[in-house]
Structure 1
Amino acid sequence: MKLYSKVKQKLIALCMLAVLATTLVTGCGTSADSGATKQTAANLSLDEITKKAKEEGKIVSVGMPDSWANWKDTWNDLSKIYGLQHTDTDMSSAEEIAKFEAEKDKPTADIGDIGLTFAPVAVTKGVTQPYKTSYWNDIPAWAKDKDGHWIVGYQGTIAFIVNKKIVKDPPKSWADLLKGNYKVAVGDVSKAAQAQNAILATALALGGNESNIEPALDFYAQLAKQKRLSTLDPSIANLEKGEVEVGILWDFNALGYRDRLGKENYEVCIPSDGSVVSGYATIINKYAPHPHAAMLAREYILSDQGQINLAKGYARPIRDNVTLPDDVKAILLPKEEYKNAKPIQDFKAWETTAKKLPQLWQEKVLINMQ
Structure 2
Amino acid sequence: MKKIIILTILLSSVLSYGETLKEIEKKAQKEGEVLSVGMPDNWANWKDTWGQLKDKYNLKHSDTDMSSAQEIAKFKNEGKNATADIGDIGAGFANIAVKQNVTQPYKTSYWEEVPEWAKDKDGHWMLAYTGTIAFIVDKDKVPEKDIPRSWEQLKNSKLKVSPGEVGTAAQASSAVLAAAYALGGDENNIEPAIKYFANLAKEGRVSVVQPNIQNLERGEIEVGLIWDFNGLSYRDTIDKERYEVLIPSDGSLISGYTTIINKWAKNPNAAKLTREYIFSDEGQINLAKGNARPIRKIELPKEIKEKMIPDEQYKNVRAIGNQEDWDKTSKNLGRVWQEEVLVNRK
| Bucket of the pairwise TM-score, normalised by the shorter protein | 0.7 to 0.9
Deviations 1:70-112 (A, max 9, x none): 2221122122222333333444434433444455445554322
Q: 1:118 and 2:98 equivalent? A: no
What are the equivalent positions in structure 2 for 1:231-242 lying under 5 Å apart? Answer: 231-242=208-219
Match of 1:59 in 2: 34
Q: Which has a greater percent of helix?
A: 2
CA distance in 1, matches of 2:290, 2:28: 26
What are the equivalent positions in structure 2 for 1:159-238 lying under 5 Å apart? Answer: 159-165=134-140, 166-169=142-145, 170-189=147-166, 191-224=168-201, 228-238=205-215
How far is the alpha carbon of 1:201 from its aligned partner? Answer: 0.6
Q: Which runs of 4+ in 1 moved over 6 A?
A: none
Quick one: structure 1 residues 237 and 47, their matched pair in 2 at CA, closer, same or farther if it must change by over 3 Å? closer
CA distance in 2, matches of 1:129, 1:172: 42
Match of 1:326 in 2: 302
1:314 aligned to which of 291, 295, 299: 291
How far is the alpha carbon of 1:272 from its aligned partner? Answer: 1.9
Instruction: Give SS of 1:212's match.
Output: coil
CA distance in 1, matches of 2:90, 2:269: 23
1:265 aligned to which of 218, 223, 242: 242
Q: Which amino acid in 1 is paired with 2:211?
A: P
Q: Which amino acid in 1 is paired with 2:295?
A: I
> What is the TM-score when the length of structure 2 is the normalising length?
0.82
2:59 aligned to which of 84, 100, 113: 84
CA distance in 2, matches of 1:142, 1:130: 17
1:248 aligned to which of 225, 241, 253: 225
Deviations 1:317-351 (A, max 9, x none): 222x1222223233322333223222223333223
Deviations 1:128-165 (A, max 9, x none): 22221121122122221111111122222210112234
CA distance in 1, matches of 2:267, 2:342: 48
Match of 2:262 in 1: 285
> What is the TM-score when the length of structure 1 is the normalising length?
0.78
Quick one: structure 1 residues 179 and 324, their matched pair in 2 at CA, closer, same or farther if it must change by over 3 Å? same
What are the equivalent positions in structure 2 for 1:107-146 lying under 5 Å apart? Answer: 107-146=82-121
How far is the alpha carbon of 1:305 from its aligned partner? Answer: 0.6
- Which region of structure 1 is more displaced relative to structure 2, 283-292 or 249-258? 283-292
Instruction: Give SS of 1:271's match.
Output: coil
The answer to whether the 8 Å contact 1:41/1:130 transfers is: no
Quick one: structure 1 residues 222 and 291, their matched pair in 2 at CA, closer, same or farther if it must change by over 3 Å? closer
Quick one: structure 1 residues 172 and 150, their matched pair in 2 at CA, closer, same or farther if it must change by over 3 Å? same
% same residue = 58
Q: Which amino acid in 2 is paired with 1:148?
A: G
CA distance in 2, matches of 1:300, 1:265: 34
How far is the alpha carbon of 1:269 from its aligned partner? Answer: 0.5
Q: 1:69 and 2:44 equivalent? A: yes
Alpha-carbon RMSD: 2.9
Structure 1: tracts of 5 or more residues without a match? 1-38
Match of 1:17 in 2: none
How far is the alpha carbon of 1:302 from its aligned partner? Answer: 0.5
Instruction: Give SS of 1:150's match.
Output: coil
Match of 2:21 in 1: 46
CA distance in 2, matches of 1:93, 1:186: 16
